[in-house]
Amino acid sequence: MEVQEFEKELRKKTEQVEDVLKKYQPEETGLQHTVIEAMNYSLLAGGKRLRPILMQETFEMCGGKGEIVEPFLAAIEMIHTYSLVHDDLPAMDNDEYRRGRHTTWYVYGDAMGILAGDGLLNYAFETALRAFGMCSGDGELMQRVALALFTLARKAGIHGMIGGQAADIQAEGQEDPVTEEQLLFIHENKTAALIQASMMIGAILAGASEAEVRQIEKCAYNIGVAFQIQDDILDVVGDSRELGKPVGSDAQNHKQTYVTIKGLDTAREAVESLSGEAVEILEGFDGRHAFLEQLVLMLINRQK
Amino acid sequence: MEVQEFEKELRKKTEQVEDVLKKYQPEETGLQHTVIEAMNYSLLAGGKRLRPILMQETFEMCGGKGEIVEPFLAAIEMIHTYSLVHDDLPAMDNDEYRRGRHTTWYVYGDAMGILAGDGLLNYAFETALRAFGMCSGDGELMQRVALALFTLARKAGIHGMIGGQAADIQAEGQEDPVTEEQLLFIHENKTAALIQASMMIGAILAGASEAEVRQIEKCAYNIGVAFQIQDDILDVVGDSRELGKPVGSDAQNHKQTYVTIKGLDTAREAVESLSGEAVEILEGFDGRHAFLEQLVLMLINRQK
């Protein structure tokens, strides 16, 4: 696929996700309208919508059809968004800006920022649960929805994303330098877990076999970890204009990264090997996967 | 039932809930063990366990049998606990003590307090979803579990508990005095919604009809709102030694309550009428409900 064609396709798919988000966003009414406004302010702040796109593409690659995936597309983005809203809080990273506008707590206050995050996490499950109403009593489809929900909850929770965030905070507070084991644990859980949830849910809802879902889980692990290592590489060699943050800022902050621990060459080899394996897994699937492959390579090999 | 017998029964049922919580609490292992310790510190801090007890009793009253309710007993207490953990945060109520010991954020830090709350909310769904694994492919039971999950999510979210908390924060920030409409909205959502979820889930899992579940929803609304109005009454007339806070503290804080808006007599009549109706609804059920009735009356008519 030509680069231009790919980018056009990507824009189209991003717009489709935006439409789904607008369809499932909560209505801003009632005496609690402010918290709902804060939720929608965060949810509709733009962003690449990579997780829903990865879910939709995996769903289609595995032969999925119909709208059963839609509540989950919205739910995964709500969970990703709540994690950013809580990350930005003064008690966490204390960020005033994200994606060129003020963060949720900065606009609505700390307390409302906490509640908006809670609201988005809770509403993600409320939204995903609506898939049961689309099963028309089909027992097998209900089983798939139940498994998709369980995957969502598991990968977003203490054995997934929250676990990664907690380990990150714990590591920042320790005196000893961060170990390779800790770093990989944080990358795997903080970043890769939601990518795994996205792609696994796509596969599960499409009716993929257990073995296929395990393959997708491995593929998404590679994508998430390679993405993070590439981030560490770009911090050392990237163009600061393209990257949007000063090159070498991790080293200046004495932050341990994959590159500081293993060296640049090993880091590059790891990205190469992880992404090669990810693409190989995708090529093992019969369904159309050209776009998905290109998306994965774009994510991993980006220069900014 | 004699008071002593009732209290003995209540202690037994509280212990049974503690056993269920211990069975479903997350294991404190892995590089993220600190956040899990913080979650369990909050979850196992004692407390009356009223919501799980109400769920179990309603389940039995509606003819429910077996362990299918257990994951939900744990889940509702996890959700109640997370709401306390986040409420206590410096950015919210800034409380250093709860139930005679330090609050979660005070022990583990602000950031870990936020993550522990997130972790509990997420783990509540992860836990409740385990009920699907107890359905042995029974399609009707799966439908009940799905409806119970939806009820949990709805009543805990922006159209339930979070909505009530947000409306409360919004009301505190306004210049005009709080209206009766606002106050009832806050009581209904902040307090009654989780009691509704508890009792409705008990009924749903037991296979109650839609009409019966609606009756239980009404009953639980009455219990929750009467409980809160009684709280407002006790603030004015209670014995400060029994209540554990200075009598009249709401009035001193210029806080609008049901009593300041409607007067003491109307407040007492409201409690009387709401609790009478709640008991009447329970008496309409064929199943054993003597303990549940006494529990409801104890909650509503308490003098501390």
> Which H/E stretch holds residue B21?
helix B3-24
pLDDT of residue B15: 97
CB contact under 8 A, B158 and A36: yes
pLDDT at A244: 58
pLDDT score recorded for residue A289: 85
List the CATH number of the domain containing B59. Answer: 1.10.600.10
What pLDDT does residue B172 have?
A: 86
Q: Does the predicted interface ipTM exceed a cut of 0.90?
A: yes
Closest CA to B225 of B265, B257, B252, B179: B257
Query: Whole-angstrom Cα distance, residue B9 to residue B15?
Result: 10
Find chain A residues with C-beta within 8 A of B117's C-beta: 118
pLDDT value of residue A75: 98
pLDDT of residue A247: 66
DSSP letter at A26 equals P
d(CA B25, CA A45): 36
Of the candidates B91, B119, B137, the beta carbon closest to that of A162 is on: B119
Return the pLDDT at B54: 97
Which residues from chain B sit within 8 angstroms of residue A148, using beta carbons?
A: none
* Residue B153 Cα distances to A74, A112, A147, angstroms: 16, 20, 17
Per-residue pLDDT tens for B41-81? 999 998 899 999 999 999 999 999 999 999 999 999 999 99
Question: Nearest residue of B to residue A171 by CA position?
Answer: B31
pTM for this structure? 0.95
Running along chain A, 304 residues long, what does each successive block of 10 average in pLDDT?
90 97 97 97 94 98 97 98 98 94 97 98 98 93 97 98 96 89 95 98 98 98 95 82 61 79 94 95 91 92 79
Task: For A175-200, write each residue's pLDDT tens digit.
Answer: 888 999 999 999 999 999 999 999 99
Using the predicted structure, report yes or no on whether residue B191 has a pLDDT greater than 70: yes
Beta-carbon separation of B158 and A31 below 8 A = no
- Let me know the angle formed at the C-alpha of B38 by B37 and B42, rounded to the nearest 5 degrees: 115
pLDDT at B242 over 70: no
- In this prediction, residue B235 carries a pLDDT of 87
pLDDT at B247: 66
Question: Which member of A117, A139, A156 has the closest CB to residue B139?
Answer: A139
Return the residue of B nearest to A178 by Cα. Answer: B31
Instruction: Identify the domain containing residue B120 by its residue range.
Output: 3-301
The tokens describing A258, both together, are 């994959």
- Using a CB-CB cut-off of 8 Å, the residues of chain A touching B115 are 86, 162, 165-166, 169
Check whether B254 has a pLDDT greater than 90. no
**Residue pairs spanning A and B at CB distance below 8 A:** 171
* Interface residue of B83, B85, B114 to substitute, partner A, most A CBs within 10 Å: B114
The pLDDT value given to residue B145 = 97
Segment B204-220, tens digit of pLDDT: 999 999 999 999 999 99
pLDDT at A242: 56
The pLDDT of residue B302? 82
Q: How confident is the model at residue B246 (pLDDT cuts 50, 70, 90)?
A: low
The closest alpha carbon to A200, from A92, A51, A90, A71, belongs to: A51
For tokens 């307390």, what's the residue? A111
Residue A211 CB-density burial (10 A; 0-12 exposed, 13-18 middle, 19+ buried): exposed
Model pLDDT for residues B124-178, shown as the tens digit of each residue: 999 999 999 999 989 999 999 999 999 999 999 999 999 999 999 999 888 888 9
Q: What is the mean pLDDT of chain B?
A: 93
The reported pLDDT for the residue numbered B252 is 64
Q: Which residues of chain A are within 8 Å of residue B30 when distances are taken between CB atoms?
A: 159, 163, 167, 185
Per the structure block, which two tokens stand in for B269? 């009549």
**Total domain count, chain A:** 1
CB contact under 8 A, A114 and B91: yes
The neighbouring-strand residues paired with A98 are A101
